[in-house]
Amino acid sequence: MVHSKNQLQREYATGSVLNRMRSGRLRELDGWRAVSVLMITCVHICAYQYQSRMPHIVGLSRAINSSGDVAVKMFFMISGFLICRLLLLEESSYGSISLTGFYCRRIFRILPALYTYLCAIALLLSLGFVREQWKSILGSSLFLYDLDIPPWSWHVGHTWTLAVEEQFYLVFPSLLIFLPKRWRTQFFVGVFLFCTAWNLAVVLAGWNPFLWNHAREGFASICCGVLMAMHEGRVRGIATRVPGFLAALTALALLAHPVGSLDWQKELYEGLFVPPAIGLLLMFSLGPAPRLRAFLCSPPLQAVGLTSYGVYLWQQLFTAPREYLSGPGRIIPFLGPLMFLIVPISYWLVEKPAIRYGRFLSERARRSGEAGPESAGRLEGYLRNPERA
């Protein structure tokens, strides 16, 4: 094992691993997606749906809430890492990035499943099953839920994360195209630090801005994922040198949230420690960690990871607290097992066909004859796993 670990370090340093793996599927990250969405679901059940029934154990509430925040940031970082990775592969294969191709993939990846869920919520609202506001549904459909514009509500409240992602990716590909390569790292490091400084300034000044502090933390987490993709070889090489016990301590620190009660301490911890720590765990799992990789690549987690977007959308309905339901809708939390039916149907009948069509439009937009057969084949192989991004 020591020999293989040293060999991996040398290969990461020379970039040979990246040449073999950059266009391959990282099943470990699918496993982390599954872990994240299951953590979010458990937090919603324990901290909201059945909060009054949870035992009063010192530190338990903090650990539960902290695990939910970590899970959301992990989603952001995986998204930033994979999407930047895809764009860098396209750039290395073709010498440029197709904005049309990117937005075709992104639109058909996100919108069909989201709008299916929102239509279901609108139907339940019309039938009097849920307590919701039409303004909230509209704000969610326009990706405005990370702003203080639409009224907050439970059933679409979780779409603030989608708003953060889509607002970031609205400008990110253009930045990647127009920024000189030598300035990319400095720029995204600057954005990462700016978001943390903004949150800290909000806490110290007591100003209530129009943008949620969690949204700024989300932008920072995506930036951290982007930086990991830009320096993947170096980051993976560092991760292979991390002892297993240190990775375990990092995971415990993320869950324990060992900071004081002052808001400025919390913001520094959330902004400067949490994203790099999550990145360390993600990259560590891609290295010589056989037990962790076996767990993340197990069939149950892979199945959940593949459908994690649908799980994330629909768990919000089935984990709703009683006060957000009305009339016959109060039976909805007891119908949680229906997710085992709804999520696969959403994936196979809504997400999968839409992904395929978005890929078709993307490939058609990119088919300019500029790339040779080898580079075109590598990009096409990568695009055939778009669920990852």
CA distances from 157 to 26, 132, 240 (A): 30, 10, 38
Burial bucket for residue 136 (CB in 10 Å: 0-12, 13-18, 19+): buried
Work out the average pLDDT over 125-144: 94
CB 258 within 8 A of CB 264: no
Nearest CA among 165, 75, 217 for reference residue 173: 165
Q: Are 164 and 76 in contact (CB under 8 A)?
A: yes
CB atoms < 10 A from the CB of 378, how many?
19
In terms of residues, how long is the chain?
389
In this predicted structure, which of 2-11, 80-89, 126-135 has the lowest mean pLDDT?
Answer: 2-11
At 210 the pLDDT is: 75
Could you give the CA distance from residue 354 to residue 187 in angstroms, rounded to a whole number? 33
248 has pLDDT over 90: yes
Under the banding of pLDDT at 50, 70 and 90, the label for residue 243 is very high
Mean pLDDT calculated for residue range 65-71:
88
To the nearest 10°, the Cα dihedral for 60, 307, 332, 166?
80
pLDDT for residue 200: 87
Give residue 381's pLDDT band: very low, low, confident or very high (50, 70, 90).
low
Confidence of residue 256 (pLDDT cuts 50, 70, 90): confident
Provide DSSP, 278-295: HHHHHHHHTSS-HHHHHH
Query: pLDDT tens digits, residue range 78-124?
Result: 999 999 999 999 999 888 899 999 999 999 999 999 999 999 999 99
pLDDT at res. 208: 65
In this predicted structure, the answer to whether residue 36 has a pLDDT above a threshold of 90 is yes
pTM value surpassing 0.85:
yes
Alpha-helical regions (H) of 15-59: 16-21, 27-44
Which is nearest to 139 in space by CA: 161, 160, 125, 112? 160
Longest dimension (CA), the chain: 64
The predicted structure's pLDDT at residue 21: 45
253/244 Cα distance (integer angstroms)? 14
pLDDT at 372: 42
- Where are the chain's structural domains? 2-388
- DSSP-derived 3-state class of residue 211: strand
Instruction: Name the least confident of 17-26, 283-292, 352-361, 362-371.
Output: 17-26
| CA R_g for the chain | 21
| Whole-angstrom distance, CA of residue 190 vs CA of residue 250 | 25
pLDDT value at residue 11: 46
- Per-residue buried b or exposed e for 12-46, using 16+ beta carbons within 10 Å of the residue's own CB: beeeebbeebbbeebbbbbbbbbbbbbbbbbbbbb
Instruction: State the average pLDDT over residues 326-330.
Output: 91
Q: Lowest mean pLDDT: which of 161-170, 223-232, 259-268, 349-358?
A: 259-268
pLDDT given for residue 19 in this prediction: 44
The Cα 25–Cα 41 span in angstroms is 26
Give the C-alpha separation, 155 to 151, whole Å: 12
Residue 58 has a pLDDT of 55
Q: Please name the amino acid found at residue 327.
A: G
pLDDT tens-digit series, residues 279-323: 999 999 998 888 999 999 999 999 999 999 999 999 999 999 999
Token couple for 200: 């800290």
CA–CA dist 128, 329 (Å, integer): 8
Over residues 269-275, mean pLDDT:
91
Residue 369 pLDDT more than 50? no
pLDDT (tens digit, 9 = 90+) per residue, 219-232? Answer: 999 999 999 999 99
Taking all residues of the chain, what is their mean pLDDT, rounded to a whole number? 86
Residues contacting residue 383 through CB under 8 Å, at least 6 positions apart: 86, 105, 359, 362, 363
Q: Are 195 and 243 in contact (CB under 8 A)?
A: no
Phi/psi region, residue 330 (left: phi>0; alpha: psi -120 to 50; beta: rest), is: alpha
Q: Strand runs (DSSP E) across 57-104, as ranges?
A: none
CB 218 within 8 A of CB 164: yes
Other Cβ atoms less than 10 A from the Cβ of 203: the count is 17
